[in-house]
C-alpha cells in the first residue's frame, strides 16, 4: 500500500523522501502559501503573491538543474562528483548515484507541489471557471522556466503592466495547468488578454499564434477548441460530498492516522495521515490496517468483488493532471490541503460501479462499462458507454476515465453528475461534438 505513493520509489525511499528536511520544509511553505492565497482580495495581493511564488519556483528549478548536472556526471563510466557540486540534503553517500537520484526525486516533487499552488492561483484569478482552465490546458507542458529564453522579457511585461496600468498579469510558467500562451493580462475593464511573448518578433510561430487566437475566440463566443473539445456550461448546480471527505481526513489526523467512512450512497473513502500513523503502526501493520478498512468500506457500499470496483487515490497527483482542481482550492484547512499536496495525508475513494449504472438509469440514461474494473483500466481508452433516447433519435457517446475521475476525486454528488450526463445526451449538443460539461456555479464550491 505504501509503495503506491510512487511506483518508481522502492523499499524505504518513501519514508526517506517524506522525512527529507527539504521536503518537510516544503510542507510548511505550502501551508503558508495556501493561507496567503486565500487572503488575497485585490490585484495588488495577487501580484505580490505571484512574486513570492516565482522566487520559490525559480530557486527549486535552479537546484534541480544543479542536481541534474551531478547525476549526468555520475552516470558516466568512472564518473565522479563535479567541481562545485551542491551539498547533498541527506546523510547519504554523496559519491553514490542513488543518493542523487533520490535528491532529484525530492526536488521534482517539491517543484510539482509549488506548481500546484500556481494552479490554485490560476483558478482563483479566473474565478474558478473550469472552462478557462480546461481550454488553456490543451497543449504540451512548457517544462521548467529556469534558463528559458524569453523569461526576462516575460518578467518585464508583468512588471510594466503592474507599474504602468495596475494590471495583474498571470505568469503561465508558474502553473502546470496553463499551457496556451505565456501570460494572461487581467485588464482594468474586466477583460483578459492572452499574450504570447517573443524576444524577436521575426521568430513568431504562426501555429502558436493561431492556437492563441482560436482558444480566445472560443472562450469569448463559445464553440469548439482546437483540440476538438467543446466546453459546455450547464445550469445544473454543483453538489458535492466534500464535507464527508473533510470529516474523514480530520478524524484520520486526530485519531490513529487511518480513518474510513461512507460519505454518500455508493461512495466510501479511507484516509491516512502518515505522520500520525507513524506513532501507531509499523510499516507492515499500517498497510494491513489500511487494506482491511478499504475492503470493509467496499462491502458497505455494495461492492461484492475487488474485480468489479472503481478506486482512485490522491497519492502523488499534485500538478500531474492539468485540468483537475488542485488540492489547494479544496474547501479544506490550509494544513490539510498542503498535506494532500505533499502526500503527508492521502486518501483512497471507491465507488460502486453498479450504483453509477443505477443512478444513470434513474435519469433516463442507459450505460455499460467498456473495460474490466479490476485495476487494469487503460486510461487512454473510453471507460463508460452512455446512451439516451430523445424523440425518435438515439444519442450515445462514451466517457473517458478522466470524466469518472472528476466524479470520484471531486466528490461530485452522483445524481448531479448523472443529470449532467443526461443533459449532454438531450439533443442540444450537436452530433459529433466532444462536450466537456462544466457546472455554472462551480465557484461556490472551491475555497
- Identify the DSSP state of 238: P
**What's the confidence (pLDDT) of residue 201?**
63
Q: What Cα–Cα distance (Å) separates residue 59 from each residue in 49, 87, 219, 260, 279?
A: 16, 15, 34, 39, 34
Q: How far apart are CA 166 and CA 187, in angstroms?
A: 9
Q: How far apart are CA 270 and CA 157, in angstroms?
A: 46
**What's the confidence (pLDDT) of residue 8?**
45
- Residues in CB range of 98: below 8 A, 6 or more apart: 92
Of residues 50, 16, 134, 87, the one with CA closest to residue 439: 134
**What's the confidence (pLDDT) of residue 286?**
93
SS3 393: strand
Q: What Cα–Cα distance (Å) separates residue 432 from each residue in 424, 427, 429?
A: 12, 11, 9
pLDDT digits (tens, 9 = 90+) for 372-383: 999 899 989 999
Burial class, 247, CB count within 10 angstroms (exposed 0-12 / middle 13-18 / buried 19+): middle
Backbone angles phi, psi at 355, to 5 degrees: -65, -35
Burial class, 198, CB count within 10 angstroms (exposed 0-12 / middle 13-18 / buried 19+): middle
**What's the confidence (pLDDT) of residue 4?**
41
Q: How far apart are CA 329 and CA 128, in angstroms?
A: 9
Backbone angles phi, psi at 195, to 5 degrees: -130, 130
Q: How far apart are CA 59 and CA 74, in angstroms?
A: 23
Q: What is the pTM of this model?
A: 0.93
- Mean pLDDT in each 10-residue stretch from start to end of the chain (447 residues)? 43 78 96 98 97 98 96 94 89 93 95 98 96 91 90 96 97 97 93 85 69 80 82 91 97 96 96 94 91 95 92 96 96 97 97 97 97 92 95 90 94 97 84 82 89
Q: How far apart are CA 409 and CA 14, in angstroms?
A: 23
Question: Helices 21-39 & 97-125, crossing angle to 10 degrees?
Answer: 0
Q: How far apart are CA 210 and CA 225, in angstroms?
A: 11
Contact between 429 and 420 under an 8 Å Cβ cutoff? The reply is no
Amino acid at each position: 500500500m505504501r509503495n503506491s505513493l510512487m511506483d518508481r520509489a522502492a523499499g524505504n525511499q518513501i519514508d526517506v523522501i517524506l522525512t527529507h528536511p527539504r521536503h518537510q520544509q516544503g510542507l510548511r511553505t505550502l501551508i503558508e502559501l495556501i493561507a496567503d492565497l486565500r487572503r488575497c482580495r485585490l490585484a495588488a495581493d495577487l501580484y505580490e503573491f505571484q512574486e513570492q511564488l516565482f522566487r520559490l519556483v525559480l530557486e527549486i528549478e535552479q537546484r534541480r538543474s544543479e542536481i541534474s548536472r551531478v547525476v549526468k556526471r555520475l552516470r558516466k563510466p568512472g564518473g565522479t562528483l563535479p567541481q562545485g557540486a551542491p551539498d547533498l540534503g541527506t546523510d547519504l553517500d554523496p559519491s553514490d548515484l542513488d543518493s542523487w537520484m533520490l535528491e532529484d526525486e525530492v526536488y521534482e516533487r517539491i517543484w510539482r507541489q509549488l506548481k500546484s499552488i500556481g494552479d490554485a492561483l490560476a483558478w482563483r484569478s479566473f474565478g474558478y471557471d473550469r472552462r478557462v482552465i480546461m481550454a488553456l490546458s490543451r497543449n504540451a507542458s512548457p517544462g521548467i522556466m529556469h534558463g528559458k529564453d524569453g523569461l526576462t522579457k516575460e518578467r518585464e511585461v508583468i512588471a510594466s503592466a503592474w507599474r504602468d496600468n495596475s494590471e495583474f498579469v498571470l505568469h503561465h510558467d508558474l502553473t502546470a495547468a496553463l499551457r496556451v500562451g505565456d501570460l494572461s493580462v487581467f485588464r482594468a475593464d474586466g477583460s483578459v488578454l492572452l499574450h504570447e511573448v517573443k524576444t524577436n518578433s521575426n521568430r513568431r510561430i504562426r501555429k502558436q499564434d493561431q492556437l492563441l487566437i482560436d482558444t480566445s475566440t472560443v472562450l469569448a463566443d463559445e464553440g469548439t477548441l482546437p483540440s476538438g473539445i467543446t466546453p459546455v456550461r450547464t445550469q445544473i448546480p454543483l453538489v458535492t460530498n466534500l464535507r464527508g471527505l473533510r470529516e474523514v481526513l480530520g478524524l484520520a489526523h486526530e485519531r490513529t492516522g487511518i480513518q474510513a467512512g461512507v460519505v454518500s450512497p455508493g461512495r466510501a473513502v479511507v484516509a491516512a495521515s502518515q505522520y500520525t500513523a507513524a506513532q501507531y503502526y509499523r510499516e507492515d501493520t499500517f498497510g494491513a490496517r489500511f487494506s482491511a478498512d478499504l475492503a470493509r468500506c467496499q462491502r458497505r457500499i455494495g461492492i461484492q468483488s475487488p474485480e468489479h470496483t472503481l478506486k482512485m487515490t490522491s497519492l502523488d497527483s499534485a500538478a500531474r493532471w492539468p485540468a483537475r482542481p488542485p488540492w489547494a482550492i479544496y474547501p479544506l484547512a490550509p494544513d490539510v490541503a498542503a498535506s494532500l499536496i505533499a502526500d503527508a495525508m492521502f486518501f483512497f475513494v471507491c465507488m460502486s460501479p453498479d450504483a453509477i449504472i443505477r443512478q444513470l438509469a434513474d435519469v433516463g440514461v442507459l450505460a455499460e462499462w467498456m473495460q474490466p474494473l479490476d485495476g487494469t483500466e487503460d486510461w487512454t481508452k473510453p471507460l463508460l458507454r452512455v446512451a439516451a433516447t430523445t424523440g425518435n433519435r438515439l444519442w450515445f457517446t462514451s466517457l473517458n476515465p478522466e470524466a469518472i475521475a472528476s466524479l470520484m476525486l471531486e466528490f461530485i454528488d452522483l445524481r448531479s453528475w448523472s443529470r449532467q450526463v443526461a443533459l449532454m445526451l438531450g439533443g442540444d449538443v450537436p452530433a459529433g461534438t466532444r462536450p466537456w460539461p462544466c457546472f455554472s456555479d462551480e465557484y461556490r464550491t472551491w475555497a
